[in-house]
């Protein structure tokens, strides 16, 4: 059973059309999505500080077989002060209503937004 906090937290590809139920749309990638104009993006907030570091992103990119190692390394990065401040901002937004975490990756199951949602839920559950 999902908690109230996670029940209002969704994950969606940034290139997908916005929906009325998205609530606050938050981009959680460090880089701006390719080919997406800022004025057309329908993004309410861009939290770069909660995205994986460039080094981690590059090491993991295209290697879903390393998902568990990526999640473990990402969780360590999320313990840093900047990521913690961004996580606090996410929690505040969740208290206000639905939130959709946006990502650019083509992989719907192995991306930082999926890992972040699991981390925020406190379950540590990862897609395999």
pLDDT in tens, 49-78: 999 999 999 888 888 899 999 999 999 999
Q: Which domain holds residue 73?
A: 4-121
CB 120 within 8 A of CB 87: yes
| SS3 at position 40 | helix
Nearest to 15 by CA among 47, 41, 52, 46: 41
Q: Is residue 126 part of a domain?
A: no
Indicate if the pLDDT at residue 2 is higher than 80: no
Alpha carbons 34 and 104: distance in angstroms, whole number: 8
Q: Which residue has the higher pLDDT, 4 or 125?
A: 4
Distance CA 47, CA 59 (A): 21
Total domains in the fold of the chain = 1
Residues of the chain with pLDDT > 90: what percent? Answer: 77
Q: Answer whether 0.85 is exceeded by the pTM.
A: yes
Decide: helix, strand or coil at residue 10.
strand
Q: What is the pLDDT of residues 27-36, one digit of tens each?
A: 999 999 999 9
Residue 72 in any domain: the answer is: yes
Q: 27 — alpha (psi -120 to 50), left (phi > 0) or beta?
A: beta
- Is the pLDDT at 90 greater than 50? The verdict is yes
């Amino acid at each position: 059973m999902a908690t109230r906090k996670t029940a209002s937290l969704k994950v969606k590809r940034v290139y997908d059309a916005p929906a009325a139920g998205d609530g606050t749309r938050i981009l959680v990638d460090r880089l701006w999505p390719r080919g997406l104009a800022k004025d057309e993006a329908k993004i309410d907030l861009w939290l770069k500080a909660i995205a994986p570091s460039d080094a981690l992103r590059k090491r993991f990119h295209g290697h879903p077989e390393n998902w568990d190692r990526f999640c473990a390394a990402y969780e360590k990065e999320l313990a840093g002060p900047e990521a913690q401040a961004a996580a606090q901002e996410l929690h505040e937004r969740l208290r206000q209503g639905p939130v959709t975490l946006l990502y650019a990756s083509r992989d719907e199951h192995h991306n930082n937004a999926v890992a972040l949602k699991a981390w925020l839920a406190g379950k540590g559950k990862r897609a395999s």
